[in-house]
Structure 1
Amino acid sequence: MAEAVTSVLIKLADILREKVQEVKDVRGQIEQVQNELRLIQALLRDIDSKCNRNNVVTEWLNQVRDIANRIATVIDTFRVKIEENRAESSNWLVRQFKTAKRNYKTYKRGLHDELEDIIEQLDWLYRRRTDLRIEDLGDDVDDPEACDDVDDPEVVGLEDDQGKIIEQLKDSTISRRTVLSILGTGGLGKTTLAQKVYNSHKLEGQFDCRAWQSISQTYNVNDLLREILYSVKPHMKNKNPPITNRDLPVKLKNFLRGKRYLIILDDVWDIDLWGKLKMALPDLYNVSRVIITTRSLDVAKAADCNTKPYVPRYLTDAESLALLFRNAFQQHVQPENYPAHLLDVAKRLIKKCGGLPLALIVLGGILARRDPNYTAWNMLDETIDWHDKDGIQCSQVLARSYEDLPRYLKDCFLYFACFPEDYKISGWRVTRMWMAEGFVLKDGTGTIEDRAEKCLEELLQRCLIQVTKKSWNGYCKYCSVHDLLRDLAIRKAKDEKFFTVFSKEEDVNNLAASKPCRAALQFCTPKENDIYSENTHSLLCFGRISSHDSGFGLLNYIGFGLLRVLTMESIDMTTFTRRQWSKGLIHLRYLGLRECKIPHDIFKQFSFPNLETIDLNESEVDSDEKTLDLCDVVIPTLRHVSGSGCYEIHLPLKWNKHTNLQTIMDVDIHIESVVELGFCINLRTFGIFIVDDLDNERAIKEWQNLKSVLKNTVQLVYLSIKTTGFLPFGGTKELPCHEKIQKLVLWGEWERNICVPSVEMFPRNLTKLKLAFSKLQEDPMPILERLQSLRILCLCYNSYVGTELICSTGGFPNLEKLELRWVHNLHYWDIKEGAMPILGHLQINYCKKLHVLPELQKVRTLQELTVSRPSLELWEGMQMQGKDVHKIKHIPCVRIREYYPQ
C-alpha cells in the first residue's frame, strides 16, 4: 500500500516541477495534498510490517487505496488539460472567440473544488488512525495451528526425491560443507521430504551427529544456536551455569570441529539467516551437510550459490489418488482395491488439488469424516471451499507466502486473479499491465521494464507462480498459477477490493452498481445495453476462445473514463458503434486487443495521450486492405507495439514521431517507411515484416537503408526481419549493436551471391538463431557450429534445401536445443563424436526424406527427443526392435507423432 502512495507522490512532485501558469494557480493545494499523503505514507509503512489487521482496518486501507487512485487520476487529467489549454491558446481562431480561456476557467473551478475535497478526506483518514488503534497493531506472530508443510511421513511420490537427495548427501567427491536447499511452494512436501531423508536408514553411520531445527519467521539467532548445540550435545542442556549468548557460537563450533554433521534448517524465510549461523558451523572438508527447506530461491542462493536447489515435483494423478484414498480410509489402499463407485468422483476431486500433497491430505481428512458413498463425496466435489473451517489449514499455509510479500509484490500477485483458470499468461503482457497500473516504480538502475521483470522473477523465486515456458534469454515467457494459489489471489483481491471477477452472465449487469476498481469479465457478456462503470481503472474482457464473442459490444466504453488498462480477447469488435467506443481515454496506458476482429477505423481520430503499450497479438482487421487507419495518430508516450502473429495487419504509425519506442514486434511495414524507424533510437526489440516482395537486387539496396536505421539502435538485443521475397540482410558486423544482439530471426531467401552465410555476419553473442525460407543450398552447419554462444538453433521451412547435414567434433559447444522443421530434402545427417556436447532437446519435425536417425547415442546429454511426421521408414526404425532403437534408448523422454503416408 505504501508503494501505491509513493507512486502518487512521484506524480505530485513531477507536476510541481512544471513551470507553467496552470500549476501556479493550484500549487498551494497540490503541496497540501503532498504533505497529507506523506503522513499517511509513513503510517502505511508501519502497517505493512504488521499482520493482525481486523476488518475495520482493512476497510481503512481500501479507502486509502481509493483516494490514491483518485489523486493519480486528477493529476493525469490535469496534465492533459494543460496540454489542451496550450494547444487551444496557440490557435488564432480559438483565441478570437476566447473559448480557450473560458474552457480552462471552468475546468480550474472544478479542479479547485476537487482538490479541497481530497485534502479534507486525507485529513479525515489520517485522524481516524487513533480511533481505529492502527498504531497499536501487534507484530506478526506465528500461528501454532498453521503448520507450514505436509506433516505426513508416508506421503506417496517422494521415494525418488528421497533417493536423489541421499545420494547427493553421501557424494564423497564433494568434501566441502554443502548447503542443499529443498525449494517449493507451501504444502509441496518440503518438510516431509527432509524428514524422510533425516530419518533414513541409508544415512546410518554417515554422520557423527545430527540436528533438526524449525525456523519461525520471527526467530532469535541465539535461541537457534542453543537448540542446535543441545541437539548435537544433549548434556549441555543441564549445564550450570548456562552457556552465555556470547559463548554459544564458539562452543558449538568447537564441538563440531572434526565431526561430520548433518543439520536441517526447516522453513527458512530470511535471506540473512545463513550468514548469521554459518560461522558456528565449521567447514573442515569432511563431507558435512546442511539442508534448508524454503519457499524462496533468494534464500537458497544466499546459503550456497554453487549447489542447485532441489525442487520436489507435484504428484501425478496416480500418486494423488493413492494419497487421497489412504487419508480418506486411514489405511493403505492398493489401486486394484479402489472403490469403483468412488473412483470417478475421486478423480474429479484430485484435479482441484493440482498434485499438491497438503491439499490432498486436507481433502482426505475431510472425506474420512464423511460416509464413503458417492452422494457424500460428490457433494464435497461441488461445494469444497479451501477457505472454510475444513480447508483452513491449507489456506493458512498458502496465505503465509502472500503475507510475506512486500506491498508492491502483493499487488503484482493479486493481478493474477484477473486471468481465467488454466490461462496461458504471458510474462511480457502481465509486466506491461503492472507498469500501466503504477505498481512498478523505477529503482534508479535500468528501465522500468527491467524493474517489472525483476518483480516477475521474484514471484517465481518465491514459488507463487511457475514458469511454463522460458524465452530465448531465460526470462519467463509464459507462466501459470497453481489452482489453490489462484483461489487465494481471488479471495484476497475480493477482500481488499482490488479486483472483481465476473464469471456469470447475471453478474455482469451489476458491474456499474458494484463500482469495481478493476474488473475482469471472463467468458461472460452483458445482456443489457449501455453498461459502464466510471470508477473502474482496469477492464479485462475475455471472450469465448476462437469464437470472436460479439456480446461485449453492449458495453459503453465511453463511460469507462478512468481506464488505465483495457484488454480484449477473442472479441468481435466490428459490432462496436461510435457511441460505445471512446475516441479518447486520457488515462489509458495499456491497450490489448488479442485474437480480435478489429474494424479498420477503430482508432480514427485516436486521442489516448498517455498510452504506453499496444498489443495486437493474433488479431485481424475486418477490411480488404488489412490496414488500420492511423494516419493522423501520434502517441509520444508509446513504448511497446506488438503485432505478433498478425502478419496481415498493417500499422502505418508515424514512426519518426515515436522516439520512446522500445518494442516493435512483428509489425507489417512497407519498405519506403523503413527509414522513419531511424528515429526510434531506444529500440531493444525490433521485428518487422516487410510486405513488399523484394527481388534480389532490391533486397541488397534496401539492406543499406535498414543498416542506417540499425546504426542508431545501440541497445538492440532482438532483431527479426521477415519477408516473402529476398531477404534484406547482409550481417550485423558493421553495426554498433553487433555485440548486444542475442536473438536473430531471418525469414526470406538469401541473396544469390550468398550460398552459405559467413560466421562474421552473425552477432558474436548470439543466443538464439531462427532461419526460415532461406533456401540455402550448401550445408550451413560448418558455419553455424562456430557460433560460440548459440544455445538455440531453429532451421525451419526450407531454410536449407540440400540433402546432407554434418555436425563436426567440437561444434556447437553451448547448443542446448536444436529444431529441424520442414527441411524437406534432408536425407542424411551425420553427428561426429564430441559434437553438441550439452544438447538437451532435439526436435525433428516434418523431415519426410530423413529415413535414418543420426548417431544420437553420441549425444549423451539428450533429455528429450520429439519426432513429428517422420517418414514411414524412420517411424518403423524407432519402434521396438527397430534399427534406430539403440540410438535413442539413453534418452529419458522420446515422443514420436504419426508418420508420413507413402
Structure 2
Amino acid sequence: MAEAVASVLEKLAVVLLEKVQEVQAVRGQIEQVQKEVRLIQALLRDVDSKCNRNNVVTEWLNQVSEIANRIATVIDTFQDKIEENRAESSNWVRKITKAVKRNYKKYKLGLHDELENIIEELNRLYQRRTDLRIEDLGAIDDVDDPEACDDVDDPEVVGLEDDQAKIIEQLKDRSISRCTVLSIVGTGGLGKTTLAQKVYNSDKLEGQFDCRAWQSISQTYNLNELLREILYKVKPQMKNKNPPVTDRDLSVKLKKYFLSGKRYLIILDDVWDIDLWEEMKRALPDMYNASRVIITTRMLDVAKAADCNTKPYQLRYLSDDEGLALLFKKAFQQHVQPEKYPTHLLDLAKRLTKKCGGLPLALIVLGGILTRRDRNYTAWNTLYETIDWHDKDGIHCSQVLARSYEDLPQHLKDCFLYFAAFPEDYEISGVHVTRMWMAEGFVPKNGAGTIEDRAEKCLEELVQRCLIQVTKKSWNGYCRYCSIHDLLRDLAIRKAKDENFFTVFLKENDVNNLAASKPCRAALQFCTPTEDGIYSENTRSLLCFGFGRISFNNSGFGLLNYSGFGLLQVLTLERVNMTTFTRRQWLKGLIHLRYLGLRDCFIPHDIFKQFSFPNLETIDLYRSKVDSAENTLDLCDVVIPTLRHVYANNYSEIHLPLEWDKHTNLQTIMDVAIHIESVVELGFCINLRKFGIIIVDKLDNGRAIKEWQNLKSVLKNTVQLVYLSIKTRRGFLPFGGTKELPCHEKIQKLNLKGKWERNICVPSVEMFPTNLTKLQLNYSGLQEDPMPILERLQSLRILHLNDGSYVGTKLICSTGGFPNLEKLKLYALHELHHWDIKEGAMPILHYIKIYYCKKLHVLPDLQKVQTLQELTVDDPSRELWEGMQMQGKDVHKIKHIPYVRIRDYDPQQEDEWD
C-alpha cells in the first residue's frame, strides 16, 4: 500500500507544477497534503513489512486506502477543470485569471475546504499509529529477487499416477455397456482438473472412443453455449457453418446428429449445479456402446445425482511422503530423490508439509514461496512461524494462498489483484493485461528496458510464484494467454474487495448499485439487465465483459452513462453497440484514459471525434467493426502523441488513417488495414517493435516489386523491429527479404500472407532474418519444395505452412535440417501427397499438426523423430485415417508418440442436418 500512496504524491507534484492561478489559490493546502501523505507513506512502508495484522490495523489500512482514493479524485477533478479552461480559448491564462477572481469564494469554500478536511483526516490517521502499536507488529525477512522456476502449465502432481491408471481402466472396461458417469470429487486444490487432464490426454485411450470433448463449466454458465462448444469440439467444421448454429433445439441436434451411434468420452470440468447436469444429460444419448462421461466437482451431491449406480472417485489428500516430495520439487525446481533431501531442512520441510494437510495446491504455492528464500534453517523456520495456519474445511490452504499474496511487493500485489476483474474461465491475454497495468501506473518506473519490458517481467514473476498459470506461450516464449486457479481467483476477489481495490459485480442486479458503492475500479460480468443512466464519477477503471453469445442490445453495457466516468484510466467494453449511444452518454474528453479496449464492438466511425483521448497509450479493436462502408475510422486531424500500441482487426480490415508522422512513440501496429500509397508515412514511426499491416490494394507483379522498395524505406528506420507481418488478400505480396534492413538480425517472427512475386518463387535463405524464431506463410503459391531453404534457418523453432503456401506435391526434410525446430504445422496444402523425413532431420521436434491435407495418404517415417511428444491430424484423407487405426500401415510410425489425436474424420456423418 505504501507504493500505492506514492501515486497520489505524483499527482500532487504534477498539480504543483501547474503555472495557473487556480493552483495558487490552494497551493498551501496542496503542499500540506503532500507533507502529510509523505508521513503516511513512510509509516506504510513499515506496516507493509509486518505480518501480524489484526482487524484494527486492517481497518486502519482501509481508511488510508479510502483517503488516498479521495485525494486522487479531488486532484483528477481539479486537473479536469484546468483542461476545460485551457480548451476554451488560446488565451486561456487571461480567462482563468478572471474566472478565479470571479469565483474565488467558490474555490475557497469548495476545493480549499475539501483539502483542509483531508489534511485533518491524514493527521488523525497518522497519530493513531501509537494507539495501534504498529511499530510492534513484528517484521518478516526481506524478499529477494525471484529465481527461475519450472513452467506450471501442467504441474506434475505427485500421487496422481495411481488414480490416473484406475480411472483409465474403468473407462476402457466394456463389461458395462450403458453410458456411465464417473465423478472425480474433491475440494479445491486437490488436483481434480489435473487428474482429468492426464486421463483425457493419455495415449492409453487412443482408439477407445469415436469422439471426445472437454468442456470447462463455470459457476455462471449459459447452457446453450456449453452445448454449442461441445458440438464444435465433436465436429469443429460446424463452427464456421453458414448460417451459424442456432440455439433452437440444440440439445436435440447434438444428441441426434453428432453423438448418436458413437462411443464418446465427454469431460465436464468443475460442475457446481445439479440442475446443469439434468439439462446436459438430455444431449447425451445412451446407445449402450460403453460411452463415458467424467465430471469433476467439489460437491458430493452433484456426483451422486449424476450417476447413482457409479461410485464417485473421491480424491485423497497426499500422504506425508508424497507431500514432501512435491514440496521439495517445487522449492528446488527439480525432482529431488529422498536420499538427497537436505538434512538441515528435512525436519522443517516435514512440518511445513504436515501444515499443508496434503493439499497439492497449498504445497505448490508454498514451494513457490520457498524458491525465493535462502536454503537455510532460519529462512524456512521464519516462514513456518509467521504463517497463520488453521487446518479446518480448507481454511489452511486459504492461509497459504493469502501468505503468498502478502509476500509480494506492492506493485505485484496490485498486478495480482487485477485478475479479480476477469470472469471465471476467461481467456486472459498476457499482452493486454500488462498494458492495463501500465495504464494504471502499477509497473515500476525505474529499471532496465522499456516499461513494456518491465510489465512483462511483472507477469513472469507472478507465473514463477505459481500464482498465475500460463495456458499458451507466444512465439518468443512469453505468456500469450494465462489463467488463475479458482482458489487464487477467490483470494484475489476477496482481497480486492477488502482493500477497496476492485469491486466485482457478478449478479445481474448488482450493477445498479454502481453509483452508490463508489468503486475505485469496477468489473461488470454478465450484468444484465442494467438500468439506464448508471455511472460512477469516482471510478478509474471500468471493465465490462460481455463475452459469449450475448446480443449487443441486451448486454446492458450500452445503457451505462459513460459521460459520468470522467476519471477513467482503463476502459474495456465487449459486445457493445456503441453506435446506439445517445449524446448524453458521450464524454467530451477522457484526459486520464490510457487504455481503451473495444472487443467485438460496433463502433461509430467518428468515435475519436466525439471523444478526446489526449493521453491514450493503447487501443485494442480486436474483432470490432466500424459503421462505415469502408470500415474506416474518421481520424482526420486526430493526434494522440502518447499512443504506443494499436491493435486493429485481422478479420474485417479496420482502416486507421492516423497522421503517422505525429505518432512517433508507437511501438506496436498490429493488423492495421492500409492503402499502399500510405505506407511511406509510417517511416516516422521509428520506435516500432511489432509491425503488422494488411494491404487492401490489389497489386500486380510489377507493382508488388516497386512497393516493396517503398516499404523497405520505412523498415530501414525501425531498427528495433522484432515482429513483422505483411498481409494481402488481393494480388501479389510486396516482400523481397529483409537482408538489406538493419533489423535483419533482430526480427524473430515473420508472418507473410499473399502470393510471392513470380521471379522469387523459391526464396533463398538469405531473404529471411538471421535469428528468425517463427515463420508463417499463407497463400504464397510456392511451386518448388521450400524445405531445402527453410531447414537451413538455424534459429527457427516454429514453422507454419498454411493454406496455399505451397502448391507442389512433395516435401523432403533432409538429414541435419531444422536443427532447432520444435513445432511444425501443415495446413491445407491441397496438392501434397508425399512427405519424406530423412534420418537425423528435425532432431528436437516435439509437435506436429497436419490439417486438411486431403491428398496425403501416408505418414512420413515419424519413427525417425524420437523426440515427438504430440501428433494431431485433423480432417485426414480416408487412407490416412485407416492407416493410423489399430492395424493400419502407419501405426508403427507413431507408436513412440505419447499423444496422438485424429479428429474430424467420420465417413458415415452426413454433411446436412436440420
Q: Comparing both chains, which one has the higher relative contact order based on Cα–Cα distances under 8 Å and sequence gaps of 6 or more?
A: 2
Counterpart-to-counterpart distance in 2, 1:804 and 1:420 = 47
Residues 604-619 of structure 1 aligned to structure 2 (within 5 Å): 604-619=609-624
The amino acid that maps onto 1:508 is V
Equivalent residues of 1:691, 1:723 under 8 A apart: yes
Counterpart-to-counterpart distance in 1, 2:132 and 2:532 = 42
Counterpart-to-counterpart distance in 1, 2:876 and 2:346 = 55
Counterpart-to-counterpart distance in 2, 1:755 and 1:518 = 54
1:826 matched residue in structure 2: 832
Counterpart-to-counterpart distance in 2, 1:269 and 1:464 = 10
Deviates more, 1:395-404 or 1:10-19: 10-19
Q: Report how far residue 494 of structure 1 moved.
A: 1.5
1:837 matched residue in structure 2: 843
Counterpart-to-counterpart distance in 2, 1:684 and 1:832 = 37
Deviates more, 1:517-526 or 1:832-841: 517-526
Decide which of 527, 530, 546 is 2:533's aligned counterpart: 530
Counterpart-to-counterpart distance in 2, 1:638 and 1:584 = 16
Does residue 1:858 correspond to 2:864, yes or no?
A: yes
Q: Report how far residue 797 of structure 1 moved.
A: 1.0
Counterpart-to-counterpart distance in 1, 2:80 and 2:581 = 26
Does residue 1:515 correspond to 2:521, yes or no?
A: no
Q: Report how far residue 389 of structure 1 moved.
A: 6.1
Does residue 1:781 correspond to 2:783, yes or no?
A: no
Q: Report how far residue 611 of structure 1 moved.
A: 1.3
Q: Report how far residue 87 of structure 1 moved.
A: 5.8
Decide which of 872, 877, 883 is 2:883's aligned counterpart: 877
Counterpart-to-counterpart distance in 2, 1:277 and 1:757 = 61
Decide which of 726, 729, 745 is 2:751's aligned counterpart: 745
User: Compared with structure 1, are the counterparts of its residues 796 and 196 closer, same or farther at alpha carbon in structure 2 (3 Å cutoff)?
Assistant: closer
Does residue 1:626 correspond to 2:606, yes or no?
A: no
The amino acid that maps onto 1:793 is L
1:812 matched residue in structure 2: 818
Q: Report how far residue 544 of structure 1 moved.
A: 4.6
Residues 384-399 of structure 1 aligned to structure 2 (within 5 Å): 390-399=393-402
Q: Report how far residue 685 of structure 1 moved.
A: 1.0
Counterpart-to-counterpart distance in 2, 1:791 and 1:646 = 27
2:132 matched residue in structure 1: 132
Q: Report how far residue 630 of structure 1 moved.
A: 2.2
Does residue 1:546 correspond to 2:549, yes or no?
A: yes
User: Compared with structure 1, are the counterparts of its residues 121 and 734 closer, same or farther at alpha carbon in structure 2 (3 Å cutoff)?
Assistant: farther
User: Compared with structure 1, are the counterparts of its residues 695 and 215 closer, same or farther at alpha carbon in structure 2 (3 Å cutoff)?
Assistant: farther
Residues 314-325 of structure 1 aligned to structure 2 (within 5 Å): none
Counterpart-to-counterpart distance in 1, 2:320 and 2:757 = 61
1:63 matched residue in structure 2: 63
Equivalent residues of 1:408, 1:440 under 8 A apart: yes
Q: Report how far residue 661 of structure 1 moved.
A: 1.2
Query: What are the ranges of 5 or more consecutive residues in structure 2 without an aligned counterpart?
Result: 142-156, 166-187, 192-317, 329-335, 353-365, 384-388, 909-914
Does residue 1:404 correspond to 2:410, yes or no?
A: no
Corresponding residue SS for 1:579: helix
Decide which of 204, 209, 213 is 2:346's aligned counterpart: 213
Counterpart-to-counterpart distance in 2, 1:450 and 1:73 = 30
The amino acid that maps onto 1:736 is P
Corresponding residue SS for 1:509: helix
Counterpart-to-counterpart distance in 2, 1:718 and 1:190 = 49
Q: Report how far residue 103 of structure 1 moved.
A: 4.7
Corresponding residue SS for 1:810: coil
1:588 matched residue in structure 2: 593
Does residue 1:425 correspond to 2:428, yes or no?
A: yes
The amino acid that maps onto 1:193 is E
Counterpart-to-counterpart distance in 2, 1:664 and 1:777 = 32
The amino acid that maps onto 1:841 is Y
Counterpart-to-counterpart distance in 1, 2:341 and 2:135 = 50
Counterpart-to-counterpart distance in 1, 2:351 and 2:63 = 30
- Measured against aligned partners, the alpha-carbon deviations of 1:134-181 in whole angstroms (never above 9, x if no partner) come to 33324469xxxxxxxxxxxx985155999xxxxxxxxxxxxxxxxxxx
Corresponding residue SS for 1:213: helix
- Measured against aligned partners, the alpha-carbon deviations of 1:455-490 in whole angstroms (never above 9, x if no partner) come to 111110111111100000000000111111111111
Residues 349-368 of structure 1 aligned to structure 2 (within 5 Å): none
Q: Report how far residue 833 of structure 1 moved.
A: 0.6
Corresponding residue SS for 2:576: coil
Counterpart-to-counterpart distance in 1, 2:382 and 2:873 = 39
User: Compared with structure 1, are the counterparts of its residues 273 and 412 closer, same or farther at alpha carbon in structure 2 (3 Å cutoff)?
Assistant: closer
Counterpart-to-counterpart distance in 2, 1:495 and 1:7 = 20
Decide which of 766, 770, 787 is 2:776's aligned counterpart: 770
Q: Report how far residue 88 of structure 1 moved.
A: 5.0
1:457 matched residue in structure 2: 460
- Measured against aligned partners, the alpha-carbon deviations of 1:160-213 in whole angstroms (never above 9, x if no partner) come to 999xxxxxxxxxxxxxxxxxxxxxx987769642546999xxx99978996762
Equivalent residues of 1:719, 1:745 under 8 A apart: yes
Equivalent residues of 2:447, 2:454 under 8 A apart: no
Deviates more, 1:99-108 or 1:482-491: 99-108
User: Compared with structure 1, are the counterparts of its residues 499 and 208 closer, same or farther at alpha carbon in structure 2 (3 Å cutoff)?
Assistant: closer
Counterpart-to-counterpart distance in 2, 1:209 and 1:435 = 42
Q: Report how far residue 29 of structure 1 moved.
A: 4.4
Equivalent residues of 2:590, 2:611 under 8 A apart: no
Does residue 1:122 correspond to 2:122, yes or no?
A: yes
Residues 696-711 of structure 1 aligned to structure 2 (within 5 Å): 696-711=701-716
Does residue 1:414 correspond to 2:543, yes or no?
A: no
The amino acid that maps onto 2:687 is N
Does residue 1:47 correspond to 2:47, yes or no?
A: yes
- Measured against aligned partners, the alpha-carbon deviations of 1:797-839 in whole angstroms (never above 9, x if no partner) come to 1011111111111111000001110111111111111110000
User: Compared with structure 1, are the counterparts of its residues 554 and 497 closer, same or farther at alpha carbon in structure 2 (3 Å cutoff)?
Assistant: same
1:470 matched residue in structure 2: 473
Deviates more, 1:810-819 or 1:114-123: 114-123
**Residue-pair matches, total:** 713
Residues 141-180 of structure 1 aligned to structure 2 (within 5 Å): 156-158=159-161
Counterpart-to-counterpart distance in 1, 2:327 and 2:163 = 15
The amino acid that maps onto 1:570 is R
Deviates more, 1:644-653 or 1:73-82: 73-82
1:484 matched residue in structure 2: 487
The amino acid that maps onto 2:495 is K
1:848 matched residue in structure 2: 854
Residues 232-381 of structure 1 aligned to structure 2 (within 5 Å): 269=369, 273-274=373-374
- Measured against aligned partners, the alpha-carbon deviations of 1:766-800 in whole angstroms (never above 9, x if no partner) come to 11111101111111111111111110011101011
Equivalent residues of 1:538, 1:566 under 8 A apart: yes
Equivalent residues of 1:217, 1:269 under 8 A apart: no
Counterpart-to-counterpart distance in 1, 2:621 and 2:341 = 63
The amino acid that maps onto 2:845 is L
Counterpart-to-counterpart distance in 1, 2:84 and 2:743 = 39
User: Compared with structure 1, are the counterparts of its residues 198 and 846 closer, same or farther at alpha carbon in structure 2 (3 Å cutoff)?
Assistant: closer
Corresponding residue SS for 1:501: strand
Does residue 1:690 correspond to 2:695, yes or no?
A: yes
1:281 matched residue in structure 2: none
Does residue 1:802 correspond to 2:794, yes or no?
A: no
Equivalent residues of 1:777, 1:801 under 8 A apart: yes
The amino acid that maps onto 1:840 is H
Q: Report how far residue 52 of structure 1 moved.
A: 2.4
The amino acid that maps onto 1:213 is L
1:180 matched residue in structure 2: none
The amino acid that maps onto 2:497 is K
Counterpart-to-counterpart distance in 1, 2:111 and 2:601 = 38
Decide which of 560, 570, 573 is 1:565's aligned counterpart: 570
CA RMSD between the two structures: 3.6
Deviates more, 1:833-842 or 1:118-127: 118-127
Q: Report how far residue 21 of structure 1 moved.
A: 7.4
Equivalent residues of 1:796, 1:821 under 8 A apart: yes
Corresponding residue SS for 2:800: strand
Decide which of 728, 736, 755 is 2:734's aligned counterpart: 728
**Identity percentage of aligned residues:** 75
Q: Report how far residue 882 of structure 1 moved.
A: 0.6
User: Compared with structure 1, are the counterparts of its residues 815 and 635 closer, same or farther at alpha carbon in structure 2 (3 Å cutoff)?
Assistant: same
1:894 matched residue in structure 2: 900
Counterpart-to-counterpart distance in 2, 1:293 and 1:531 = 52
The amino acid that maps onto 2:500 is K
User: Compared with structure 1, are the counterparts of its residues 267 and 461 closer, same or farther at alpha carbon in structure 2 (3 Å cutoff)?
Assistant: closer
The amino acid that maps onto 1:852 is V
Q: Report how far residue 408 of structure 1 moved.
A: 1.6
* TM-score for both structures, normalised by structure 2: 0.72
Equivalent residues of 1:505, 1:525 under 8 A apart: yes
Corresponding residue SS for 1:604: helix
